[in-house]
A and B are shown apart, each in its own frame.
Chain A
Amino acid sequence: MEPLLQIDNLEITFGRGKDASRAVDGVSFCVWPGEVLGVVGESGSGKSVTALSVMGLLSRQGRVTGGKILFQGKDLLTMTPETLDTLRGVEIGMIFQDIMYSLNPVLTIGKQMTEGMRRHLRMDAAAASARAVELLTRTGIRDAAQVMKKYPHQLSGGMRQRVMIAMALACRPKLLIADEPTTALDVTIQMQIMQLLRGLQRETGMAILLITHDLGIVAELADRAVVMYAGQCVEEAPVHELLTDPAHAYTRALMQAVPGLHDSREKRLYSIPGRVPELYGDIRGCRFAERCAYAADCAYKNDAAMRQIAGKHYSRCDLRGEATLLG
């Protein structure tokens, strides 16, 4: 089977000359048709930039300096904008984190929803609007016909995110890129949106590339996960395996930093000491070493290449079965 999306040794650099810093450094992963791949990492790990580069959305300062992004075997990076426009919105959809400015404040929901369908699916106004109502209803919006006439400021955050999802699904994409889709929402709404995404994914069989910093969302939604740190992938595994038996020191640290419902209140929540190094391009060997609790007697410190440690489980170091060390 051919992967739907294959990111191969991707490098993204910000700035030029002396100021250049590499935000993504040799990231590789695949999204298979119909799977949900979670990409987890702290702010600054390069996960969002990776997602944006798939869509050709890097800001002016950032540019891809190496590697390939293949969608169904075709390299997105060498495509003309016109060819790219036949994929964006049709084969690949995207939803964003920010619910305040993800919809144009001066246009009605209906106008914003139907425009893409009319363009890409060559529908007439009536057909597009009928499909928009159907999609909105499917995302759990009651009175969809009424909502079509409203402006974004008249909707709640959860409603707006539902509209965004409906818009991204309008042309039945094979791949949905969701950049922190629930981060700006209340926990209860988060849950509903995740269930909605899960349901839609099962129904349509599309693949989802889920970018998040929240391991809970990955556990809920993803089939497989990639953990990113300082512009690199550090671990890749099926979600169940990743959560029950994490191999990389960073993944283990992340999991300890998730509060448990039954933790006693007196217990201080673990946090990883230090922060993501800013100029990580120059670090040799393991990039997590300076924050790592296991660094003292670590065999991987100087040779932290990605290696296969079990069937579909890859990691830069292997601490499976080690006792938990608090830093």
Chain B
Amino acid sequence: MRSSKYRAVWQRFCRHRMALVCLIILTALILLALLAPLIAPYAPQKPTGQFYQPPSAEHILGTDKIGRDMFSRVLYAMRVSLLVGFLATTVSTAVGVLLGLISGYFGGAADKIIMSFTDMVMSFPYILLVLVAAAIFQPGMWSIILILGFVDWPGVARLVRGNVLSLRETNFIKSDITAGMPRRYILFSEILPNTIAPVLVYATSVFAISIPDEAALSFLGMGVQPPTPSLGNLLNGAESLSILTGKPWMWVPAGAAIVLLVVCINFVGDALRDAFDPRNS
């Protein structure tokens, strides 16, 4: 019976041709990233050839300034960037869902405090907040995950709060109360499952934002630190004009990977939103 509901969701998803294509590309990119240790021809952090070599049979995407294989580095960079994006999204979604649930269900003072805090976080110039935080904490993969997680939750919190406010007035929540069910059960077993679909859709867009955010931070040197490759710090090499104009293999693959990832995630998220909406059947 559950499967029939998800089959309907899948059917509606498939109506978006573009999203289907994007889903395939996305799956392929994620597989490439996951299987990087098996696919990559060279270790990503070891010089294995001449520096600044253009693409050749040996190094299909050429080599960088100290002779590391670019193809291997891009694969590993995608791995890092996807991990950062995924974990940052998980952190911000978890924080947002929890605060949204509390704020919406309990209302009163808790709601006021949480929502004022949410507005405060939202009103900060976003990139500035990230830069300040990155400057205070030791830059690195884990701190960037926490930083991005912290700035991305307000949207989720508001979304969940709004949902909870309308769910609270429904009779099935009232009948849970009349059935003497404890609050914990009502919040997590009755209300939470009803907010999963919109949260999932929203989380895809947060995911799509966190990837370029990570890239921006790493590009500015505040994110993932070399020699660990990430899509952002690979682009860092393109700061110099001679590389930008004369050595496209240094930055085109990483840039293309970011664009592909972001575009695909957005299309998939869009289709998911339509697919989860039963009014589209």
**Residues of A at under 8 Å CB distance from B?**
55-57, 59-60, 84-90, 92-96, 98, 101-108, 112, 115-116, 119-120, 149-151, 154, 164, 167-168, 177
B124 interface residue, CB < 8 Å from A?
no
If A60-B107, A149-B1 touch, whether A88 touches B178 (CB-CB below 8 Å) is yes
B181 at the interface (CB under 8 A from A): yes
Assuming the contacts A85-B180, A116-B181, asked whether A106 and B193 have C-beta atoms less than 8 A apart, the reply is yes
Extra inter-chain contacts (12) besides given A89-B178, A96-B174, A151-B5, CB under 8 Å: A55-B178, A85-B181, A88-B179, A95-B175, A101-B171, A104-B193, A105-B172, A107-B190, A115-B185, A120-B180, A151-B2, A167-B179
Q: Are B177 and A88 in contact (CB under 8 A)?
A: yes
Pairs A-B, 10 closest by C-beta atoms: A89-B180, A89-B179, A88-B180, A85-B180, A94-B178, A102-B171, A101-B170, A96-B171, A106-B193, A104-B172
Chain A nearest CB from B137 CB (Å) reads: 39
- Chain B residue numbers with a CB within 8 Å of A88 are 177-180
CA A154 to CA B5, docked complex, whole Å: 10
A-B contact pairs, 26 of them (CB 8 A): A60-B107, A88-B178, A89-B180, A89-B181, A92-B178, A94-B175, A96-B175, A98-B171, A101-B172, A102-B172, A104-B193, A106-B194, A107-B190, A108-B2, A115-B181, A115-B185, A115-B189, A116-B179, A116-B180, A119-B180, A119-B182, A120-B180, A150-B1, A154-B1, A164-B175, A168-B175
Residues of chain B within 8 A (CB-CB) of A90 are: 180
How far apart are the CA atoms of A273 and B178 in the complex, in Å?
Answer: 37
> Are B177 and A57 in contact (CB-based, < 8 A)?
yes
For chain B, residues 11 to 29, give those with C-beta under 8 angstroms from any C-beta of chain A.
none
Interface size on B, residues (CB 8 A): 22
| B185 neighbours in A (Cβ, 8 Å) | 115, 119
Closest to A101 in B: B170
Cα(A116)–Cα(B190), bound, Å: 13
- The residues of B with any CB-CB pair to A shorter than 8 Å are 1-2, 5, 107, 169-172, 174-175, 177-182, 185, 189-190, 193-194, 196
Least Cβ–Cβ distance between A9 and chain B, in angstroms: 24
For the complex formed, measure the closest distance between the CB of A83 and the CB atoms of chain B, giving whole angstroms.
10
B72 to chain A, nearest CB (A): 45
User: Distance in Å from the Cβ of B160 to the closest Cβ of chain A?
Assistant: 15
Q: Which residue of B lies closest to A177 (CB)?
A: B178
Bound-complex Cα distance A96 to B172 (A): 9
A167 to B175, CA, bound (A): 10
Interface centre among B2, B171, B172, B179 (most CB of A within 10 A): B179
Complex CA distance for A193 and B261, rounded to whole angstroms:
56
What's the least CB distance linking A123 to chain B, in Å? 14
A276 to B259, CA, bound (A): 63
CA distance A21 to B35 in the complex (A): 68
Residues of chain A with a CB closer than 8 A to B174's CB: 57, 96
Name which residue of chain A comes closest to B179, CB basis. Answer: A89
CB neighbours of B196 from chain A (8 A) = 106
Give chain A nearest CB distance to B214 CB in angstroms. 33
Q: List B contacts of A94 (CB < 8 A).
A: 175, 178
Docked-complex contact B177 and A55, CB < 8 angstroms: yes
Q: Whose C-beta in chain B lies nearest to the C-beta of A104?
A: B172
A119 (CB) vs chain B CBs: closest residue:
B181
Measured in the bound complex, the distance between the Cα atoms of B77 and A259 in whole Å is 77
CA distance A95 to B175 in the complex (A): 7
- Chain B residue, CB-CB nearest to A105: B194
A313 vs B174: C-alpha distance when bound (angstroms): 34
Min Cβ gap B56→A in Å is 55
A7 to chain B, nearest CB (A): 17
Report how far A88 CA is from B176 CA in the complex, Å: 9
Roughly how many angstroms separate A112 CA and B179 CA in the complex, as a whole number? 11
Within the assembled complex, what's the spacing in Å between the Cα atoms of A164 and B170? 14
The residue from A98, A104, A112, A115 contacting B194, defined by CB atoms under 8 A apart? A104
CA distance A59 to B171 in the complex (A): 12
User: Complex Cα distance A206/B136, Å?
Assistant: 67
Q: Please give, as numbers and ranges, the residues of chain B lying within 8 Å of A177 by CB-CB distance.
A: 178
- Contact between A57 and B181, CB atoms less than 8 A apart: no
Cβ contacts under 8 Å, A119 to chain B: 180-182, 185
Identify B1's interface contact among A93, A120, A151, CB under 8 A: A151
Shortest CB distance A255–B (Å): 30
A104–B226 alpha-carbon span in the complex (Å) = 50
Judging by beta carbons under 8 Å apart, are A104 and B1 in contact? no
Known: A101-B171, A108-B1. A56 touches B177 (CB 8 A): yes
Q: Which residues of A contact B172 (CB under 8 A)?
A: 101-105, 112
List of B residues within 8 angstroms of A167 by Cβ: 175, 179
